[in-house]
Amino acid sequence: MLELDRVSKVYKVGTFGGKELHAVNEVSFEVKDGEVVSLIGESGSGKTTIGKMILRLIPITSGSIRFNGTDISTLKGEALKEYYRKVQGVFQDPFSSYNPIFKADRIFKIIKDEFFPQVSGTEWKDKVERSLRDVGLNPGDVLNKFPHQLSGGQLQRFLIARALLLDIEFLVADEIISMLDASTRIDVLNLLADLKARGLSILFITHDLSLGYYISERAVILYRGCVAEMGATDKIYENPLHPYTQMLMASVPRLDRKWEEVEVELKTKPAELTRGCVYYERCPQADERCRRERPTLVEVEDGHSVACFRT
């Protein structure tokens, strides 16, 4: 379905753009039909950048992203529109996704004008109501309202309903739960699970490991733009091999057990390494080789790869 092949994103930084910042560094993974893949990482790991590159909101520096075999960076005009018919994104902050001056359901009208100008008004109304019911909203309660009259959970579901109107095949869900309250976030998560059961593929971008485990089959752990570890969710959670993943697992607050006595190294501002492992400065097990060479992803067991010399 969707395939990332050695995708990189380099930003020019510094006063005259003389320095380079590797936001995403040769990341490769794929999302199969009807699969949910979690992209897990802390702030600055490049997870949102990857989502935006898939949605073609920002260009790729090198590498390629292929959707059903076509390189998406070549898409133009009609073909690009066709791509957006199949691939859509929903973002973290539902409140800033709307124009507060207009009613919230304006987003549906934009979709109609843009993609379905030939559909009649009544038919469209039915379609909108059906997709609102699909996301667990009662159309009578939510249509014809301004964004401030709806709750965060409702707005977020509106955006998912909007994506569903297009019969999409792939959804980029970027931290869509983190702004919601505990009692409503699980409903949105279950909604994603139901959509997946109907064949939708989802890239679930999150920093919350328990949410990632709940919903996805496979997980990709990112650290400073590089894939540290990836594979089947259970394997990564039960047997984390990369020191970074191990640290993450130990510091995530859990309800079933107290924090272990693991010393968590506080983030220091890491010097920009051009060579060597990106986790070198924070890694408790790092040695001379980690400083000189950058480890590549190695498959350690079936469907579980790690980028670390020490495993």
Site string for other proteins, 149-178 (x = CB under 8 A): --x-x-------------------------
Task: Give the nearest distance from C-beta 216 to other proteins in angstroms.
Answer: 9
Torsion sign (Cα): 73, 74, 77, 81: negative
Residue closer to other proteins, measured from CB, 79 or 193: 193
Tracing tokens 């380079």 back to the chain, one arrives at: 20
Dist. CA 188–CA 180, nearest whole Å = 9
- Tallying the residues shown for the chain, one arrives at 311
In the complex with other proteins, the residue whose CB is nearer, 84 or 237, is: 237
Q: Which of 76, 269, 274, 288 binds other proteins (CB under 8 A)?
A: 269
C-alpha span between 140 and 144 (Å, rounded): 9
Q: Which residue stretch of 65-73, 74-82, 115-123, 249-257 sits at the interface with other proteins (rule: CB under 8 A)?
A: 249-257
Closer CB to other proteins, 141 or 299, in the complex: 141
Query: Minimum Å distance from CB 57 to other proteins?
Result: 24
Instruction: Supply the minimum distance, in Å, between the C-beta of residue 263 and other proteins.
Output: 9
Instruction: Note whether 283 and 307 are within 8 A (CB).
Output: no
In the complex, least distance from residue 94 CB atom to other proteins, rounded to whole angstroms: 13
94 to 133: interface string for other proteins, x by CB under 8 A = ----------------------------------------
Q: Is 195 in the site for other proteins (CB under 8 A)?
A: no
Question: Of the candidates 210, 193, 209, which has an alpha carbon nearest to the alpha carbon of residue 201?
Answer: 193
Residue 263 per-residue DSSP state? P
Note whether 266 binds other proteins by CB under 8 A.
Answer: yes
Interacting residues with other proteins between 34 and 53 (CB under 8 A): 42-43
Q: Give, in order, the Cα–Cα distances in Å from 167 to each of 116, 239, 241, 249, 285.
A: 12, 37, 39, 36, 48
Q: What is the 3-state secondary structure (H, E, C) of 103-162?
A: CCCHHHHHHHHHHCCCCCHHHHHHHHHHHHHHCCCCHHHHCCCCHHHCCHHHHHHHHHHH
Chain positions contacting other proteins, by CB under 8 A: 42-43, 151, 153, 181-187, 189-190, 193, 207, 209-211, 213-215, 233, 237, 247-249, 251-256, 258-259, 264-267, 269
